[in-house]
Chain A
Amino acid sequence: MGARVAVVVFPGTNCELDVAAALEALGGTPELVFHTETDLRGADAVVLPGGFAHGDYLRAGALARFSPIMAAVAEHAAAGGPLVGICNGFQILTEAGLLPGALQQNTGLKFLCRTVECRVESTRSALTRGAPAGAVLRLPINHFEGAYRCDAPTLERLHAEDRVVLRYVDNPNGSVDAIAGVTNDAGNVVGLMPHPERASDALLGSTDGIVLLESLLDARDRAPV
């Protein structure tokens, strides 16, 4: 059986089936886990998919960290388990304090929905371990609050510890340092704004997300990172 991946569903999450389908096509065993649950059922890896958890009320991702499942998610991360937040999931991880920084409105005040080029900057994360460093991936973005922000000391630390995993080739949203994805110090928690699951089949226009999702599926054999 392929790696078991808990795909967490909050009220307002809308990318869970895309993520599950993409993981399944790559040999993984996704399981949807509703946010009111308190147990990840022994999953090898966890994905917080995109959408608008709890309506994005107050701030994008702000309320999701109070969902019952988040205690188990934090525990999984603390134990070195692979955890990836995609788009709204990235916003949730920053709000929950599992990743540094915050996602702010795009500088151009436009909702961005298009495929962009992202460069793999670090391969020391659960999501990029299998990707060639420096590879440029074509991945769709779909967000209004995607401008990555952090203070100067945090940015310095991210650089020093090689924790910027993906960078936009042509910064679409005003992110600091064109950051599209970051990881925690252990490399097992990753957040990114682009959607690898929407670049996982030729019919979708790009298959560049596969290398990322495959890294995640492989990550269980290496955990704790």
Chain B
Amino acid sequence: MRFEARIEVTHRAGVLDPQGATVERTLPMLGYDGVRDVRIGKCIRLTLDADDRAAARAAVEEMCERLLVNPVIEAYEIELTELAPVS
């Protein structure tokens, strides 16, 4: 089976997010009042083959822990989408 993984990497709760804080201060200047909790991170997309959804998730989690994310300052969320079978 083939999956697309979308990994959202953000700052860990409690870790200062200087970009998010700056953007949060800027939005009210454009008239958007009441905006809060702006967090800026990055998005990693990849396609992988795995036996099933659980195996795909386990593999992506391992990639996150070993390379894609620095757990000291970053947190992540994984979104898996099964892709149509390759013909």
A contact set with B: CB distance below 8 Å: 58-59, 62, 94-95, 101-102, 104-109, 147, 149-151, 174
Task: Compute how far the CA of A63 lies from the CA of B70 in the bound complex, rounded to whole angstroms.
Answer: 12
Residues 70-85 of B at the A interface (beta carbon under 8 Å): 70, 72-73
Is A151 touching B72 in the complex (CB atoms < 8 A)?
yes
Known contacts A95-B70, A102-B73, A109-B22; 13 additional CB pairs below 8 A are A58-B68, A59-B70, A62-B67, A62-B70, A94-B72, A102-B72, A105-B18, A105-B19, A149-B15, A149-B72, A150-B72, A174-B16, A174-B18
Cβ-Cβ contact count across A and B, 8 Å cutoff: 31
Is B18 touching A108 in the complex (CB atoms < 8 A)?
yes
Distance (whole angstroms) from the CB of A61 to the closest CB of chain B: 9
Q: For B16, what are the chain A residues with a Cβ–Cβ distance below 8 Å?
A: 104, 107, 147, 174
Is A109 touching B68 in the complex (CB atoms < 8 A)?
no
11 chain-A/chain-B pairs, Cβ below 8 angstroms: A59-B70, A94-B72, A95-B70, A102-B72, A102-B73, A106-B18, A107-B18, A109-B18, A109-B22, A147-B16, A174-B16
B contact set with A: CB distance below 8 Å: 15-16, 18-19, 22, 67-68, 70, 72-73
Instruction: Enumerate the 9 nearest inter-chain pairs by beta-carbon distance, A residue then B residue, closest first.
Output: A102-B72, A102-B73, A109-B18, A149-B73, A107-B18, A102-B70, A104-B73, A105-B18, A59-B70
Q: For B73, what are the chain A residues with a Cβ–Cβ distance below 8 Å?
A: 102, 104, 149
Task: Compute how far the CA of A107 lies from the CA of B21 in the bound complex, rounded to whole angstroms.
Answer: 10
Q: Report the nearest A residue to B44, measured CB to CB.
A: A58
Is A109 touching B72 in the complex (CB atoms < 8 A)?
no
Q: For A105, what are the chain B residues with a Cβ–Cβ distance below 8 Å?
A: 18-19
Task: Compute how far the CA of A101 lies from the CA of B73 in the bound complex, rounded to whole angstroms.
Answer: 8
Q: For A94, what are the chain B residues with a Cβ–Cβ distance below 8 Å?
A: 72
Q: For A174, what are the chain B residues with a Cβ–Cβ distance below 8 Å?
A: 16, 18
Q: For B18, what are the chain A residues with a Cβ–Cβ distance below 8 Å?
A: 105-109, 174
Q: Report the nearest B residue to A103, measured CB to CB.
A: B73
Q: Report the nearest B residue to A65, measured CB to CB.
A: B67
Distance (whole angstroms) from the CB of B77 to the closest CB of chain A: 18
Task: Compute how far the CA of A150 lies from the CA of B72 in the bound complex, rounded to whole angstroms.
Answer: 7
Q: Report the nearest B residue to A150, measured CB to CB.
A: B72
Task: Compute how far the CA of A27 lies from the CA of B15 in the bound complex, rounded to whole angstroms.
Answer: 43
Task: Compute how far the CA of A104 lies from the CA of B19 in the bound complex, rounded to whole angstroms.
Answer: 11
